[in-house]
Amino acid sequence: MNTNNFHKSKIINKKIINSELCFIEFEVENWNSHIPGQYSEICLTAENGYQAIRPYSIASEPNSNIVGFLIEKISNGEVSSFFFEHSMIGDEVLISRPIGLRFILKNEFAPIFISSGSGIAPFLSMSKSLDLEKKKYKLFHWSKTFDGLVNYSNFSKEKNIEYHPFVTRENLTKKGIGYERISSKDFNKIDESIKHEIYICGSDSFVENSSDIVKKIFLKSDIYTERFGS
């Protein structure tokens, strides 16, 4: 297995968000930054030499050798189960150089980010980059539960973000949170005559449904999609 473009990395922070999501940060040797939206491959190596590699969106700010990933626990998932159940601060892995030049922040037109569940991951990186420039953007995030609204309190506070969180499987009475699944009315207040760059990330069914809705409204805008899983 070719791991020539991989960097030695060590876990420096681990946060279990809920039963499905955890956030892990690595200190990565010789890391040369990344473009927001790119992903890396994380390689675990067993003592017998067996290796498992999986791709994950980079969820941290560029220009730092502290690189974070939002990891969703997959049933019988070899790598995600390790990170959830066994990993500890100090554990060492290999992380590839950043990959991908398609689903990256173009930053030419007004950005709109649309995500479900762990699909928020690339937007954690994109938003940090835009926050540094104080550039305005819109962020829509659907989660089954409130605790899955990753970075909720920061997104709620930042003045340059128009933040639209949704929780679909809990009954909450919290101001500013929607409860319905995505529909065209969620975009009613956005001027579709202005060209936007629209990024959609999440499960296959969510991306399929969302892009169907969005492409009918935003005829002048570019739409980029990234799907997790089947």
Residues of this chain that bind another protein (CB under 8 A): 1-2, 8, 41, 44-48, 50-55, 78, 82, 86-88, 90-94, 99-103, 204, 208, 211-212, 214-215, 223-227, 229-230
Computed over its alpha carbons, how large is the radius of gyration of the chain? 18
Report phi then psi at 213, rounded to 5: -70, -50
| Residue whose CB is less far from another protein, 60 or 221 | 221
| Residue whose CB is less far from another protein, 89 or 172 | 89
Instruction: State the minimum distance, in angstroms, from the CB of residue 124 to another protein.
Output: 20
Instruction: State the minimum distance, in angstroms, from the CB of residue 42 to another protein.
Output: 10
Instruction: State the minimum distance, in angstroms, from the CB of residue 227 to another protein.
Output: 5
Instruction: State the minimum distance, in angstroms, from the CB of residue 175 to another protein.
Output: 33
| Residue whose CB is less far from another protein, 190 or 223 | 223
SS3 127: helix
Contact between 141 and 164 under an 8 Å Cβ cutoff? The reply is yes
Residues near 108 by Cβ (< 8 Å), separated by ≥ 6?
197
| Residue whose CB is less far from another protein, 92 or 180 | 92
Residues near 173 by Cβ (< 8 Å), separated by ≥ 6?
none
Strand partners, 121: none
Smallest CA-to-CA distance from 43 within 93, 91, 85, 4 is with 93
| Residue whose CB is less far from another protein, 180 or 212 | 212
Instruction: State the minimum distance, in angstroms, from the CB of residue 85 to another protein.
Output: 9
110-116 vs 51-57, strand pairing mode: unpaired
**Tokens (6 digits) for 174:** 């919290």
Which DSSP string do the residues of 127-138 spell out, in sequence order? HHHHHHHT--EE
| Residue whose CB is less far from another protein, 44 or 161 | 44
Instruction: State the minimum distance, in angstroms, from the CB of residue 113 to another protein.
Output: 16
